[in-house]
Amino acid sequence: MRFFLIVIFLIIQLSSFPQSNYDANFKKTVSIIEKNYIGYQYISNGKLDYYNYFKTNLRDTHLNTISDLAKNIKLYMDFFEDRHLYLTISDFYKNAPIATDTFKCASIDTHTYYLKIPDFDNQAALDSLLNCAIERDSMLHFENLVIDLRRNGGGKNLFYRRLLPLIATNDMYTRRYELLATKENWASHQTRNKMGTLTEKEENKIIDAPWQKSHHNFITEYSPSGVNQYPKRVAVLVDRNTGSSAEKFVLCAKQSFKVKIFGENTAGAVDFGDVCVNEIIKDSLYIVYPTTNVYDYKINGVDSRGIAPDFYLQPENQIEQILNYFEYWN
C-alpha cells in the first residue's frame, strides 16, 4: 500500500520536480544499499550470482520518469524481503508521522481494562494515554488488561519501555545488536547516540552496537523492583501489521508470567533495525535501510514468519474472544 501511494503522489507531482538522471539515481541507490545496508551481505550470501543477474537487468532498464525510478527501486528492494528496507517520499526524521489510528483507553467491564496503542512514535500521546488510564480510571485495580497492538507498525524502542513495569513479573531480556560501522551509518547514529569516533579498525566492519551498555548475548531490558498485584492477566492483541518496535515489546511481554499473546502472526520486522534515511532526489525520494541486526537472527530469526501468538483468533469480534479466554484463565 505504501508503494502505490508513493507512485500516485509522484505522478501528480511530476511536473514540479526538476529533471534528474534517473538511471544514475538508481545506481546511486544500489551503491548506498550495498555499502550501508547490513542485510545486504547476509541476504545475498549464497545467491550472489542471481543477485548480480537481477541487479544488472534492473540497471539496464532505461528510466524516463521519477515513477520509473520508484518502481525500479521498489523491485530492487523486494529482493531482500526486509520490511525495514523501503522507499519513502519524505524524510521522516524531519516530518512528523501521519496518524492512522488513535490512542484509546477504557474499561470494558468491571474486571477488564483496554488500551489501544497504534504506534510507538508519539511519546506525548502514549504518556497521556497511560496517565489518563492510571490516574483517572485506576487501571491498576483491574484484574484483566488488554493491550491492543493491531496495526502498530512500531516506532522507538524507548517508548514501549514505559509499559514494561505494568506487566513484568521477572527480568526481561532482549538480544544484543550488531552495527555495520560505515562512515554514513556512524554519522547518522552519532546524532542519536553518543558513540565517540569511528576508528579505522572498526570502519566497514560489523561490530557490537556502541550504544549498548552490555555486550552479553542477552541484555536486560527491564528488571522490576516489585510486581504489581494487578493486572493479574494481560492479553496482548496483535496482527500481521504489528511490526518493528511493537514486535520487540511483544518479545519482552512474552517473558512475563502474566502475559499471553492473541491474534495472528506479527509482521516480521525485528531481525534488522535501527534504520537510516538517505536522500536519492532532494525533497522527493528517500530510501530507508537498516544498519543493525540481532546477533543470532540466523538461528532465532523472526522476520521470515513473524511472532506466533499463544492463541490464534478468528478475525471478527476479537475482543469478545479474549474476554471468553479470561473466563478460563487462572
Tens digits of residue pLDDT in 153-201: 998 888 999 999 999 999 999 999 999 999 999 999 987 777 889 999 9
- What is the rounded CA–CA span in Å between residue 185 and residue 307? 28
- What is the rounded CA–CA span in Å between residue 190 and residue 194? 6
For 72-99, what is each residue's pLDDT tens digit? 999 999 999 999 999 988 665 555 444 5
Cβ neighbors of 158 (< 8 A, separation 6 or more) are none
Element (H, E) at 34: helix 22-36
- Label residues 45-62 b or e (16+ Cβ within 10 Å = b): eeeeeebeeebeebeeee
Percent of the chain with pLDDT over 70: 91
- What is the rounded CA–CA span in Å between residue 218 and residue 33? 28
Can you tell me whether residue 270 is helix, strand or coil? coil
Residues linked to residue 287 through DSSP beta bridges, in sequence order? 87, 278
Give the per-residue pLDDT at 14: 47
- What is the rounded CA–CA span in Å between residue 121 and residue 92? 11
Give the per-residue pLDDT at 44: 81
- Residue 34 scores a pLDDT above 80: yes
Higher model confidence: residue 308 or residue 219? 308
Domains in the chain (CATH in brackets) are: 2-95+277-289 (no CATH), 104-272+299-328 (3.90.226.10)
Q: Is the overall model pTM greater than 0.75, yes or no?
A: yes
For 267-287, what is each residue's pLDDT tens digit? 999 999 999 999 999 878 999
Q: What is the mean pLDDT of the chain?
A: 89
- Do you know the residue count of the chain? 330
